[in-house]
Amino acid sequence: MQTPFFPQMRPRLAQQRMQKPGCGFPIMKFVGLFSLSTGCLLGAVTGNFYDTELALFRKLWHFLKPRDVLLADRHFSDYGTLAHLCHQGMDAVMRMHQARPKDFRRGRYLGPADRLVTWQKPLHRLRTIGAKLWPGLPQTLTLRMIRVRCSAKGFRTRQLVLVTTLLNPQNYPATEIAQLFLQLWNVELFFRDIKTVLKMEHFRCQSPAMVQKEFFMHLISYNLIRALMLQTVRRTDVPLERLSFKGSVDSVRHFSTAIAKAPSKRKAAALGRELTRVLAADLVPTRPGRREPRALKRRPKPYSLLTKPRHQFVEIPHRGKYRATTRKRHPRTKLP
Long-range pairs of 223-229 with CB within 8 A, sequence gap ≥ 24: 223/40, 223/41, 225/249, 225/252, 226/38, 226/39, 226/40, 226/41, 227/40, 228/252, 228/275, 228/279, 229/39, 229/279
CA–CA distance, 93 with 62 (Å, rounded to integer):
18
Q: What is the pLDDT of residue 322?
A: 45
Helix (H, G, I), strand (E, B) or coil at 55: helix
Q: Output the CA–CA distances (angstroms, integers) from residue 41 to 16, 34, 46, 219, in the order listed.
A: 28, 5, 14, 8
Q: What is the pLDDT of residue 325?
A: 47
Q: What is the pLDDT of residue 165?
A: 94
Among 73, 69, 71, 72, CA closest to 88: 69
State in Å, rounded, how far the first CA of the chain is from the last one. Answer: 68
For residue 210, give the H/E element and its range.
Answer: helix 208-236
CA–CA distance, 187 with 172 (Å, rounded to integer):
22
Neighbours of 157 (CB within 10 A): 8
Q: What is the pLDDT of residue 324?
A: 47
Ordered by start, the domain boundaries in the chain are 74-183
CA–CA distance, 24 with 19 (Å, rounded to integer):
6
Among 83, 85, 90, 84, CA closest to 66: 90
Q: What is the pLDDT of residue 331?
A: 53
CB 259 within 8 A of CB 268: yes
In a structure prediction context, what are the per-residue pLDDT tens digits for the chain, which is 336 residues long?
Answer: 655 544 555 555 666 677 777 677 788 889 999 999 999 999 999 988 888 888 899 999 999 999 999 999 998 999 989 999 998 999 999 999 888 888 888 889 998 889 999 999 988 888 778 888 888 889 999 999 999 887 766 666 678 899 999 999 999 999 999 999 989 988 999 999 999 999 888 888 878 888 889 999 999 999 999 999 999 999 988 999 899 999 999 999 999 989 999 999 999 999 999 999 999 998 888 877 676 677 878 887 777 777 788 788 877 665 545 444 444 555 555 544
**Cα-based torsion angle of the residue sequence 293, 294, 300, 303 in order, rounded to the nearest 10 degrees:** -150
pTM of the model: 0.81
